[in-house]
Amino acid sequence: MKASLGTLIAAVIAALAAMPVWAQNQAPAPIACVSNGAAVTVAAAGDRTVDTANVQSAIDACTTVGGQLGRPVYVQLLPGNFIIKPITMKSWVYLLMPAGVVLNASTVTTDYQIAGSGTCGGIASSSSGCKPLISAGIGSDKAANNTGIIGSRAVGIMGGTIEGHGWDITSNGSSWWAIADLADAQGKKQICPRLIEFDKGTNILLRDITIQNSPYFHVVFSQCAQVTALHLTIQSPTPDHPSTARNTDGIDPISSTFISITNNHIVSGDDNIAITAATKGPSHDISIQNNHFGAGHGLSIGSGTANGVYNVFVKYAFFNGTDNGVRLKSDSSGGGEVQQLYYDTLCMKGINTASKSSKNGSINLDTQYSSSTGTSFPYFHDIHFHDVYSDTASATTGGKARDLVRLNGAGGTLPINNVSLYNVDFTLPTTATVATNIDAASIFLYSNSQNLAIPGVTPTPAPDVDPYFNEAANPNIAQFCQQYNN
């Protein structure tokens, strides 16, 4: 297994090194787009028709400039409040949004309507029907290489803000979030727009952006490669608009590869991060480092995993008030192989096990996430935890016990196996809930773990160095987490 981790890290490093320097966290930055002898800038008009046309025209003009230069150029938005309908990113073009730039999403539902699809702003059995606010490669618009949206690169200055207005009254008389509440009450799905979606793109960079109050998912990468999401602040709802924001995932890599998600703060009304691989291909070689998660359903893989998820490396993940910590969820209607997952230095504070939203817990491996059935069976194996601390106790809500640690292989034909827990520390004694189809002989609960018992598993003497990470234990993991998880 040490070779597998080494292979993972080497592959991610190699992929990032192969990216053009503008797509890495390095200089040189994209250069200003110069068209007709002048740098292309866009001022805010505060009118959704004018602002959309001006921003889109600038992007359209600069894609030619960047293509001719063979490197990306940027369109600079001037400080002010823009109101935009959906816009389409193009190759070689970045949006530069210095402090003071706010992109406000239109609240006119028909602005997002996809012809021939469900009614945007309505509810149905499918969520399809709305275009994203900012997209590339959606529908007939072919995604091209080297597209991106970028915030300010100036050190110490926050990038622009994308305000989704999920709380605001739309043209149909209710807010996007009220639509979601109604859909939930009827057991259906909301038809609301995502804020940012890239499809089949490569060399994508999102950084230094505040993305808030999304009507639906915040950021989606579908079938993308070589993606960096850096220094993003994602939040729905924001404190000034308290409400229920359902299904507002933070960052969702879907069938995507060589992804770096680093130094972000994510508060959402659903998964803070959700990695899936349902029907469009596998997701693999994903690095998630130094991220802080507030309210939301935690760091998830699934539920769709049919094409496989592998080579995921998580380090320095801070959970504060999330419904879950690490959650692997799938079922036989769309399950697949999930393997080679490495979680190093996880700090969990106040995991909300009293929430009714899901089977909550600090560590949740569940191959029977829902009652849906089929023949695409999940298979979870080679999953490793190193230096984990949680201050949370299990809870009972509505007469139902919530699990702090859950291992459920009942949804698969092959048992959950080769899971290791090295220096996993719970504040209070915790007994894992273990369902059927677990290979207890290959569940390694190392003896330096504290306050955790797994039925049927005898603790394994802990070596000085974790064999899956080639690292010694942090003897002060609780103190480290209490200091830095704020």
In the set 51, 199, 249, 270, the catalytic residue is 270
Active site residue 270: yes
Separation between Cα atoms, residue 436 and residue 153, nearest integer Å: 51
- CA–chain centroid gap for 435, Å, is 28
Quote the tokens at residue 436: 């059927």
Amino acid at 356: K
How many residues are given for the chain? 486
Residue with tokens 């949006």: 95
Residue with tokens 């999304």: 214
Hey, how many other C-beta atoms are within 10 angstroms of the C-beta on 122?
18
Dihedrals phi, psi of 37, to nearest 5 degrees: 80, 5
Task: Work out whether the CA dihedral 45, 47, 50, 54 comes out positive or negative.
Answer: positive
Rounded to the nearest 5 percent, the helix, strand and coil shares of the chain are: 15, 40, 45
- Specify the 3-state DSSP secondary structure of 480: helix
Separation between Cα atoms, residue 471 and residue 264, nearest integer Å: 25
Amino acid at 144: A
DSSP code, position 231: S
Peptide bond into 72 cis (omega under 30): no
Quote the tokens at residue 338: 């999930």
Quote the tokens at residue 149: 């949206």
Q: Which of 366, 322, 320, 312 is nearest to 343 (CA)?
A: 312
In the set 218, 297, 381, 384, the catalytic residue is 297
Quote the tokens at residue 59: 């992007």
Hey, how many other C-beta atoms are within 10 angstroms of the C-beta on 118?
18
- Specify the 3-state DSSP secondary structure of 49: helix
3-class DSSP string for 286-348: EEEEEEEECCCCCEEECCCCCCCEEEEEEEEEEEECCCEEEEEECCCCCCCEEEEEEEEEEEE
Quote the tokens at residue 61: 């003009």
Catalytic center residues:
270, 297
